[in-house]
Structure 1
């Protein structure tokens, strides 16, 4: 049995780790937005979709806490409830949120165009497929079944709530690399549509690819995106690309359908001795 440690200087990739909503399923990352808006409305506080999107990528408890702590929403909560938004309030909202989001994902679980073909091509190259998500386990039990019915079943799943801390820290990626038995992080690519998701890849030292069009950064359905005139598409693409690059992406592409040329570029860089910065 070979017990030699893996080389700290890999010459080939070993795995690609994908986020879920806005990355491989749910073009526009629409399911969580419905749930967040309805959640706060149930407690008498109005929030809009743009506000709900700001903390996307965080674990859902952290996301709710970030919303409740945002100055406008916090002031409205104080006005309605007569007290500041607290961790206890966040606990209560989180318990209500989970079944709401589990219901919402059923309406937004379609694989993003090109996702399945990309994953199949990566597997054909001998790469393992990992996954992390800001969703918790109860929500992902619904999502996993819906994705598997469409042919997508990654080699592992790490959810927010599985570990003591989630994004933007590295622990979910640490668990994923352990599950997949791959090392070092320079042999891994993290693909995500949110800045916290990109930062969890950077935190462990992986290559990081951001998705500008299919996910939360724009928050448009596929039909809404395709209906835009080309100049407006390009303006939004440039805006999203700048945001994701500022958030840590080494590359930014439209969607997972465009990933394979990036994989080839990374392989060439590894062969030249380059590593993620």
Structure 2
């Protein structure tokens, strides 16, 4: 039987489209004179933010812009300065982008009803998560355990360390009794590295990269095209399941529980 579900936060359970980190990354780099595209930011979304900034600084276009502006490549001090600016920006924007996505409470209440534990992993720091989880709690979403890379000596996704930490806390030895749900390829990598079942969320995901308004303005054919593009990305990362909405997770749990029952 499935004993625990581990959710990501931005783009999965809150912040439709995972907009807060994109806005904060753009501001932090713009303050350094560097222009970023959404694609630059989203390709490594889900990592611990220090690691993510390191990845962005390795992009060829970013290195080119940096060298043109400063006549040298970015160093560790530059990375620290951007990280500090990013943190300040994100702590501000998180207060604006913490609304629960549709279906989250309904899914959470189902999990509670059936005694399934709920935990979360994230690329946010503990300080950032204090803002997000407090706002989510006001809206009724209260996971049993909220884990950041700071709980596991800085080993952020795609490392399995946070999931393994949760397994120890929940006293669950079999990874097949756990589902990891996320909205980025890094989420899927994290889950696969931990040996748990992985589920990718399509609508409102960082992979789709659209706000609720932008998605709703698409016609039906355009929405289908967007969904299919995201599904193919998840499939390329070998996600076990891909769903449009978080509430579709209920069907997956019931399917997996039935499959486990048959084996026994």
TM normalised by structure 2 equals 0.96
Which residue is equivalent to 1:157?
146
Among 247, 252, 261, the alignment partner of 1:262 is 252
Quote the offset at 1:49 in angstroms.
Answer: 1.9
Q: Distance in 2 between matches of 1:195 and 1:270?
A: 27
Which residue is equivalent to 2:190?
200
Which residue is equivalent to 2:122?
133
Q: Which moved more, 1:147-156 or 1:80-89?
A: 80-89
When the two chains are superposed, the root-mean-square deviation of aligned CA atoms in Å is: 1.3
Q: Distance in 2 between matches of 1:248 and 1:96?
A: 35
Q: Distance in 2 between matches of 1:90 and 1:257?
A: 39
The answer to whether the Cα contact below 8 Å between 1:193 and 1:212 also exists between their aligned partners in 2 is yes
Quote the offset at 1:92 in angstroms.
Answer: 2.0
Which residue is equivalent to 1:241?
231
Which residue is equivalent to 2:85?
96
Q: Distance in 2 between matches of 1:166 and 1:195?
A: 14
Among 208, 214, 231, the alignment partner of 2:221 is 231
Residue by residue over 1:23-78, the C-alpha shift from the partner in whole angstroms, topping out at 9 and shown as x without a partner, is: 11001001000000001000011112222111101110111111111000111111
The answer to whether the Cα contact below 8 Å between 1:211 and 1:254 also exists between their aligned partners in 2 is yes
1:166 partnered with 2:160 = no
Q: 1:87 to 1:117 in 2, by over 3 A?
A: same
Q: Which moved more, 1:152-161 or 1:129-138?
A: 152-161
Which residue is equivalent to 1:9?
none
Among 62, 65, 81, the alignment partner of 2:51 is 62
Q: Distance in 2 between matches of 1:137 and 1:194?
A: 20
Q: Distance in 2 between matches of 1:77 and 1:163?
A: 33
Query: What is the aligned residue count?
Result: 263
Quote the offset at 1:136 in angstroms.
Answer: 0.6
Which residue is equivalent to 2:103?
114
Among 61, 79, 83, the alignment partner of 1:72 is 61
Higher helix share: 2
Q: Which moved more, 1:67-76 or 1:177-186?
A: 177-186
The ranges of structure 1 where at least 4 consecutive aligned residues each deviate by more than 4 angstroms after the TM superposition are none
Quote the offset at 1:112 in angstroms.
Answer: 0.2
The answer to whether the Cα contact below 8 Å between 1:69 and 1:85 also exists between their aligned partners in 2 is no
The answer to whether the Cα contact below 8 Å between 1:60 and 1:160 also exists between their aligned partners in 2 is no
The answer to whether the Cα contact below 8 Å between 1:177 and 1:183 also exists between their aligned partners in 2 is yes
What runs of 5+ residues in structure 2 fail to find an aligned partner?
none
What runs of 5+ residues in structure 1 fail to find an aligned partner?
1-11
Q: Distance in 1 between matches of 2:245 and 2:51?
A: 26
Residue by residue over 1:182-234, the C-alpha shift from the partner in whole angstroms, topping out at 9 and shown as x without a partner, is: 22111000000011111111111111100112210111111211221111111
Q: Distance in 2 between matches of 1:41 and 1:102?
A: 17
